[in-house]
Structure 1
Amino acid sequence: MKFFIDTANLSEIQQAQDMGILDGVTTNPSLMAKEGIAGEEEVKAHYKAICDIVEDKVSAEVISTNYDEMVIEAEALAAIDPKIVVKVPMIADGVKLIKYLSSKGIRTNCTLIFSAGQALLAAKAGATYVSPFLGRLDDIGSTGTALIKEIKTIFDNYEYGTEILCASIRNMTHLLDCAKIGADVATSPLSVYTALKNHPLTDSGLEKFLQDHAKAEEAQLAAAQG
């Protein structure tokens, strides 16, 4: 499973990169606003700064919802850096844009997927990734992981090359469930990934090892002085 980090915070992206676990980055207008990034040129500069940190796959989202305007915006985003993946909403003009960008060799991430039908439509149009939102489905009483299973079954049936990018991951359970199902990618806050390393037996085991090491050194020192 590939690990993407869902943020526009350069420090968090660098931390994930330094850990050696980072395969890509997803962002959206809300995450940009959270970092105080506003204005077309400032947003483009920030995307470039992200691309300079990671090896590949930085999802940059179009804001327009009109096809002609989306084309202009998408091509401008793709021109920032070869690592850019254009993030496109699941709307009619978005599907049309995915088809167009796919024909131009520009990678796409179809976002705001909440049904298997939407995922199928995006895959038919040539999306590189589809992003089903687990947490938001859970919020309305649906089961996000059930959707992941449905999408995977359909994609496997017809051998679509589109990858399933699990989004709106809120905790380790979401992440591990997606991994068990066989989703291609997860995107989440850095805190979800760092939480994977935690286990009380790891902590207690390490503490015991260090205590035993300290005792052995003390005994060796005492023997040398004796």
Structure 2
Amino acid sequence: MKFFIDTANLDEIREAYDMGVLDGVTTNPSLMAKEGITGDAKIKAHYKAICDIVDNNVSAEVIATDYETMLKEGRELAAIDDKIVVKVPMIKDGIKAIKQFSSEGIRTNCTLVFSAGQALLAAKAGASYVSPFIGRLDDISTDGLSLIEDIIRIYDNYAYETEVLAASVRHTMHLLECANMGADVATCPLKVITALLKHPLTDSGLAQFLADHKKGNQ
């Protein structure tokens, strides 16, 4: 499974990269604004700064909701760096744009996916990634993880190359369940990735080893 970090914070991206587990980054205008990055020029410069840290796969989101402007924005984003994946919303013009981007060799991430039908359309249009938002489904008392399972099954049935990118991952159980199901990618905050490090038996075992070592050197 690939690990993407969902943030625009450069320090967090560097920390995840330095751990040796980071495969990419997803971000959006809200996350940019959270870091005080506003305005087209600054946002593009920030995307480039992210690309300079990671090895590949930086999802950069179009703002437009009409076909022609999506194409314009997406091409501009793709021109920033070869690592850019253009993030496109799951709407009719978004699907059309994904099809066109695919024909131009521009990778895409179809975002805001909440049903298997939407994921099927994205794959048929040639999306590189599809992003089902499992946490937001959980928020409305719907099983987000079952959606991941359904999409994986449909993609396997027809050998679609689109990768399932589990998004809105809130905690380690989300992440591990997605891994068990065979999701290609999970994108989440850094704290979810670092939480995988923790186990009480690791802590107690290390404390015992250190105590025994200290005792043996007295």
Which residue matches 2:37?
A: 37
Counterpart in the other structure of 1:82 = 82
Measure, in 1, the Cα distance between the counterparts of 2:109 and 2:194.
Answer: 25
Aligned: 1:71 with 2:71: yes
For structure 2, the 5+ residue unaligned runs are: none
Q: TM-score, normalised by structure 1?
A: 0.96
Deviations 1:57-81 (A, max 9, x none): 0000000001111111000000000
Q: Give aligned-pair identity as a percent.
A: 70
- What is the distance in 2 between the residues matched to 1:143 and 1:177? 12
Deviation at 1:102, TM superposition (A): 0.3
Secondary structure, counterpart of 2:88 in structure 1: strand
Give the equivalent residue in structure 2 for 1:121: 121
Aligned partners of 2:70 and 2:107: how far apart in 1? 15
Letter in 2 for 1:138: D
CA distance in 2 between counterparts of 1:143 and 1:30 reads: 25
Q: Which residue of 2 aligns with 1:185?
A: 185
Q: Given residue 191 of structure 2, which amino acid in structure 1 is its aligned partner?
A: S
Unmatched 5+ stretches in structure 1:
219-226
Per the alignment, residue 99 of structure 1 pairs with 99
Query: SS of the counterpart of 1:161?
Result: coil
- Provide the C-alpha distance between the structure 2 equivalents of 1:70 and 1:161, rounded to a whole number of angstroms: 23
Equivalent runs, 1:142-161 vs 2, <5 Å: 142-161=142-161
Determine the structure 1 residue equivalent to 2:195: 195
Aligned residues: 218
Structure 1 residue identity aligned to 2:80: I
Distance in 2, Cα, partners of 1:156 & 1:84: 26
Residue of structure 2 equivalent to 1:224:
none
Q: Provide TM-score, normalisation by structure 2.
A: 1.00
Provide the secondary structure at the position in 1 that maps to 2:217. helix
Quote the Cα distance in structure 1 between the aligned partners of 2:102 and 2:70. 14
Of structures 1 and 2, the larger Rg is shown by 1
| Pairwise CA distance, 1:113 | 0.3
Partner of 1:223: none
Distance in 2 separating the partners of 1:146 and 1:21: 26
For 1:56 and 1:33, the matched residues in 2 are separated by 23
Offset of 1:107 from its aligned partner? 0.3
Alignment RMSD, CA only? 0.4
AA in 1 matched with 2:132: P
Residue 217 of structure 1 and its aligned partner are, at CA, apart by: 1.1
Aligned to 1:24: 24
